[in-house]
Amino acid sequence: MMRTLRGQALRCLPDRGEPATLRNMFTRCKQFAAVLLLAAACAGAQAAGAEAIEVVERRTFLPASAHAPGMPPPSGTHEFSLTLAYFTDSGWREDVLLEIATHAAGILAQCSVSVTSIEIARIAAPQRYRYFATPLSRQVARALQLPRPTVYFVIDTLQQPAYDAEAIGRGNSRTRPELADTVWITRATRDPGIALAHELAHVLMDSGEHIEEALNLMRAETTPANTRLNAGQCERLRATGTSNGLLRPAKN
Ligand SMILES: [Zn+2]
């Protein structure tokens, strides 16, 4: 992401280097798709019976679980439970989500923050809801009321500018309160485990800031080498995450 708390639009993930003309064409296609999907949303509002957005399967994974062998044991001073949601027929799979979340948890562990459980919810919803678009995604979050922070794995974004991954904290959700403390990961996201750790750090710190420090997770560009958080970032992450009710002191 992310849209920052100051209303600036910062590019979180690198430009993929397409020629400008191709990229522009792609952008126009996305805008066109957004118009079509929003028109369909209005037209379809009367067909209430087919409009359900609901959890059809829900599973919880614990660090000791054989299903999450890479997840670090909870040994931090602070902890939280992470909720992941994905849509049926969106190209995402439960095992892939678990691997991404486990990778992200390992990165956040450097701040003495542990993920004590990962809950994965599979969502059934009409096709248009499987994309990130503020008016539609607000409906999704409002309908599901999943625990926060919530990470939604979607097909793509219909937002402009289009970010591969986006995080919404408290400061940038005043006009869309349903989306507070959520992360939206598209299938175009590279290095998704690192990207998720980056977006969760935005949410926990309630900050859209990027920094230039070498190898830092909060550099604007997400790469496999950029995974570090400095002492000040960790302190802010723990303090703000706790005061916003997203983290709790560890029980151990
Ligand atoms: Zn960012």
Question: What's the gap in Å between 222 CA and the centre of ligand 1?
Answer: 8
Among the ranges given (18-27, 97-106, 139-148), the one the predictor scored with the smallest mean pLDDT: 18-27
Question: What's the gap in Å between 6 CA and the centre of ligand 1?
Answer: 13
- Residue 8: pLDDT over 80: no
Classify the C-alpha dihedral 26-44-123-198 as positive or negative.
positive
Q: Between 173 and 6, name the one with better pLDDT.
A: 173
Question: What's the gap in Å between 220 CA and the centre of ligand 1?
Answer: 6
Q: What CA–CA distances, in Å, run from 22 to 28, 165, 189?
A: 10, 21, 19
For 80-127, the pLDDT digits (tens) are: 999 999 999 999 999 999 999 999 999 999 999 999 999 999 999 999
- Residue 17: pLDDT over 60: no
């979340």: which residue's tokens?
A: 101
With 0-12 / 13-18 / 19 or more C-beta atoms within 10 angstroms meaning exposed / middle / buried, residue 208 is buried
The architecture in CATH of the region 2-249 reads 3-Layer(aba) Sandwich (3.40)
- Residue 4: pLDDT over 50: no
Conformational region of residue 191, where left means phi above 0, alpha means psi within -120 to 50, and beta covers everything else: left
Which pLDDT value is given to residue 249?
Answer: 96
Rounded CA-CA distance 195/221 in Å is 9
For 25-43, the pLDDT digits (tens) are: 333 334 445 545 555 554 4
Which pLDDT value is given to residue 32?
Answer: 46
Residue 237 tokens read as: 């992450």
Question: What's the gap in Å between 195 CA and the centre of ligand 1?
Answer: 8
> How is the chain split into domains, by residue range?
2-249
Question: What's the gap in Å between 41 CA and the centre of ligand 1?
Answer: 30
Which pLDDT value is given to residue 10?
Answer: 32
Mean pLDDT estimate for the chain: 84
- Residue 171: pLDDT over 50: yes
Which pLDDT value is given to residue 194?
Answer: 98
Question: What's the gap in Å between 99 CA and the centre of ligand 1?
Answer: 21
Question: What's the gap in Å between 155 CA and the centre of ligand 1?
Answer: 19
Rounded CA-CA distance 215/194 in Å is 12
Which pLDDT value is given to residue 50?
Answer: 66
Rounded CA-CA distance 68/217 in Å is 23
**Beta carbons of 203 and 181 less than 8 angstroms apart:** yes
Mean pLDDT of 163-180: 97
- Residue 182: pLDDT over 70: yes
pTM over 0.75, yes/no: yes
Question: What's the gap in Å between 218 CA and the centre of ligand 1?
Answer: 6
Strands 182-185, 150-153: pairing kind: parallel
Mean pLDDT of 61-90: 84
